[in-house]
């Protein structure tokens, strides 16, 4: 016996496709009709197929809406998923928030069928979201820690979309790419957005360097590669005023030289990455995001103007750019900083993006930044992309804490031992001394940890170690209680989306 997910049911050219759960809670693809290209076992007139990469590719070839696509300048939201189980909850959050993306009613709930039983009919699915979703999004760093491949991340998202009957556009983000070698596996899998992270090439020492040291750094830039000379650069900027409506940007030589010294090498690296991606994917078959957010110092409006102007001069085309904002965008918690200061700087970044693009301003570590979402909605002029990832993992742990408190205590105790090591590659400020020992908390108090600053960060950044130790058990728990996990995801992420609309 197999239980069909009713929203997955679809018929195309006389062949039926559906996702189902078997008695062992393993999900399978059921195909009736033309089964050429699929691998599986015959049961009556159906082919029961495991969720393999080959069967995922065969299904994408038949159902084009299961392929990621370019999203352009639509406001967009990245639903990162570190476990490969969250996409149905992400879809429900988006549907539940946006009335235009709600799908037509499907009639009956999950139903039982066996071989020889005809598939029931279903309504046509439509989707017109205000915010375009990116359902496959994972960085190279996260892939390494979760031991997943870009193809697995894309396929897991696709199976979740198929399960929920999603028929709208969606994107796939190869996040925080640092080297040309990082690109190839994402390109082979068919990703559509490539986020280049040149942060290691940003020279933060410039901010406190002497004028002579700054000049020396500028003269040492690879001017041949930049297709430029210092005197030509000066003619483009020094003494000029760039009118952006409510404000203007004016460069003198010291300000220009500091921008060039700080970001010149990052521009070189971004251009090289862009050209490599274009060569692998095709110039018109991908979108680029530029990310300078994981840096020590904020990106000033003048620096933003310099970065964008130089990349544009060098022929780079991009759809979004992530500056390093004022304040702190730490993992798993709300914005740390003055909202009014953020609003003033954000408005300037948006004005620059509109003048030199248009392109979207991207908020990385966007999970749980609920304080700034209304500001972003008010000031972005629709030119915005938000990335989330760790918050969906925290909702997985919340589900475990609710359903199996003993198991969650084991996870928390282990995470506390790993935090000092695992925090090294993140901008976080949680203190272990503020995270209670799990044995000191009753079951109800465990859920309160998900509203506590330090506990959220400790749980957030230790995900790789936790998956190494408890991965199979964690995934089995969530699979057995998938509806509870989806409900937590829907409620939590709907809060994000609602505030982005306000």
Tens-place pLDDT, residues 409-446: 999 999 999 999 999 988 899 999 999 999 999 999 99
Neighbours of 13 (CB within 10 A): 7
Higher-confidence residue of 24 and 127: namely 24
- Annotated catalytic residue 156: no
- At 109 the pLDDT is 34
pLDDT(137) > 80: yes
Q: Are 192 and 286 in contact (CB under 8 A)?
A: yes
- At 104 the pLDDT is 30
Per-residue buried b or exposed e for 125-143, using 16+ beta carbons within 10 Å of the residue's own CB: bebebbbbbbbbbbbbebb
Neighbours of 469 (CB within 10 A): 16
Per residue in 286-320, pLDDT (tens digit) is 999 999 998 889 999 999 999 999 999 999 999 99
pLDDT(147) > 60: yes
Residue 123 DSSP class: P
Q: What is the 3-class SS of 449-495, one letter each residue?
A: HHHCHHHHHHHHHCHHHHHHHHHHHHHHHHHHCHHHHHHHHHHHHHH
pLDDT(65) > 80: yes
What residue segments make up the domains of the chain, in order of their start?
Answer: 2-194, 197-388, 391-501
Per-residue buried b or exposed e for 454-467, using 16+ beta carbons within 10 Å of the residue's own CB: bbbbbbbbbbbbbb
Q: What is the pTM of this model?
A: 0.93
Residue 103 DSSP class: P
Per residue in 314-371, pLDDT (tens digit) is 999 999 999 999 999 999 999 999 999 999 999 999 999 999 999 999 999 999 999 9
Per residue in 161-201, pLDDT (tens digit) is 999 999 999 999 999 999 999 999 999 999 999 999 999 99
- For all residues of the chain together, what is the average pLDDT? 92
Spatial separation of the C-alpha atoms in residues 171 and 405, rounded to whole Å: 36
- At 103 the pLDDT is 34
Spatial separation of the C-alpha atoms in residues 7 and 165, rounded to whole Å: 5
Alpha helices, DSSP H, located in 331-429 = 339-356, 373-379, 390-403, 405-422
Range in 41-45, 62-66, 114-118, 424-428 the model is least confident about: 114-118
The catalytically annotated residue of 142, 289, 303, 490 is 289
Q: Are 177 and 195 in contact (CB under 8 A)?
A: yes
Q: Residue 50: which residues within 8 A CB-CB, separation 6 or more?
A: 26, 28, 29, 39, 40
Residue 486 is encoded by which pair of tokens?
Answer: 């989806």
- At 25 the pLDDT is 67
Alpha helices, DSSP H, located in 191-327 = 211-219, 230-237, 253-281, 301-313
Neighbours of 205 (CB within 10 A): 12
Residue 165 is encoded by which pair of tokens?
Answer: 């009957």
CA angle in degrees (0–180, nearest 5) for 435-438-444: 100
- At 98 the pLDDT is 60
Q: Residue 71: which residues within 8 A CB-CB, separation 6 or more?
A: 132, 134, 169, 170, 171, 192, 193, 287, 319
- Annotated catalytic residue 243: no
Spatial separation of the C-alpha atoms in residues 66 and 62, rounded to whole Å: 9
Average pLDDT over residues 456-481: 97
Cross-strand pairs, 113: 2
- At 296 the pLDDT is 84
Per residue in 30-60, pLDDT (tens digit) is 999 999 999 999 999 999 999 999 999 999 9
Residue 28 DSSP class: E
Q: Band of the pLDDT at 26, cuts 50, 70, 90? A: confident
């Amino acid at each position: 016996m197999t239980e069909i997910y009713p929203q997955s049911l679809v018929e195309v050219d006389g062949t039926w496709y559906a996702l189902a759960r078997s008695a062992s809670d393993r999900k399978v693809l059921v195909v009736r009709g033309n089964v050429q290209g699929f691998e599986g076992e015959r049961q009556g007139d159906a082919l029961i197929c495991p969720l393999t990469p080959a069967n995922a590719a065969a299904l994408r070839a038949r159902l084009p809406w299961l392929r990621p696509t370019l999203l352009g300048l639509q406001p967009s939201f990245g639903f990162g998923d570190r476990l490969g189980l969250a996409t149905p909850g992400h879809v429900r959050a988006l549907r539940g928030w946006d009335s235009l993306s709600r799908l037509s009613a499907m009639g009956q709930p999950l139903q039982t069928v066996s071989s020889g039983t005809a598939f029931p009919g279903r309504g046509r699915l439509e989707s017109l979201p205000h915010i375009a979703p990116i359902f496959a999004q994972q960085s190279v760093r996260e892939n390494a820690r979760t031991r997943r491949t870009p193809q697995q991340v894309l396929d897991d998202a696709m199976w979740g979309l198929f399960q929920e009957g999603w028929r709208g556009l969606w994107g796939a983000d190869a996040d925080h790419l640092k080297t040309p070698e990082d690109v190839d596996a994402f390109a082979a899998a068919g990703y559509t957005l490539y986020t280049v992270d040149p942060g290691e090439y940003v020279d933060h020492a410039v901010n406190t360097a002497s004028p002579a040291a700054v000049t020396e750094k500028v003269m040492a830039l690879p001017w041949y590669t930049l297709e430029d000379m210092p005197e030509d650069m000066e003619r483009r900027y020094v003494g000029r005023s760039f009118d952006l409506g409510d404000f203007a940007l004016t460069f003198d030589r010291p300000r220009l030289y500091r921008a060039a010294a700080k970001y010149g090498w990052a521009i070189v690296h971004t251009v090289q990455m862009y050209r490599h991606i274009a060569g692998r994917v095709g110039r018109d078959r991908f979108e680029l995001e530029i990310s300078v957010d994981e840096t020590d110092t904020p990106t000033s409006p003048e620096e933003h103007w310099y970065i964008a102007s130089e990349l544009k001069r060098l022929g780079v085309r991009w759809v979004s750019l992530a500056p390093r904002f004022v304040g702190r965008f730490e993992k798993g918690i709300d914005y740390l900083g003055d909202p009014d200061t953020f609003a003033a700087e954000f408005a300037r970044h948006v004005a620059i993006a509109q003048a030199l693009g248009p392109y979207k301003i991207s908020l990385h570590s966007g999970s749980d930044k609920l304080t700034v979402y209304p500001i972003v909605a008010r000031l972005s002029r629709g030119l915005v992309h938000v990335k989330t990832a760790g918050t969906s993992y925290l909702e997985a742990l919340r589900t475990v804490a609710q359903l199996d408190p003993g198991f969650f205590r084991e996870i928390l105790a282990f995470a506390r031992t790993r935090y000092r090591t695992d925090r090294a590659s993140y901008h976080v400020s949680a203190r272990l001394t503020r995270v209670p020992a799990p044995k000191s908390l009753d079951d109800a108090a465990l859920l309160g940890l998900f509203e506590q600053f330090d506990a959220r960060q400790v749980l957030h950044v230790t995900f790789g170690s936790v998956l190494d130790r408890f991965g199979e058990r964690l995934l089995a728990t969530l699979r057995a209680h998938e509806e509870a996990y989806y409900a937590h995801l829907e409620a939590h992420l709907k809060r994000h989306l609602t505030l982005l609309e306000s």
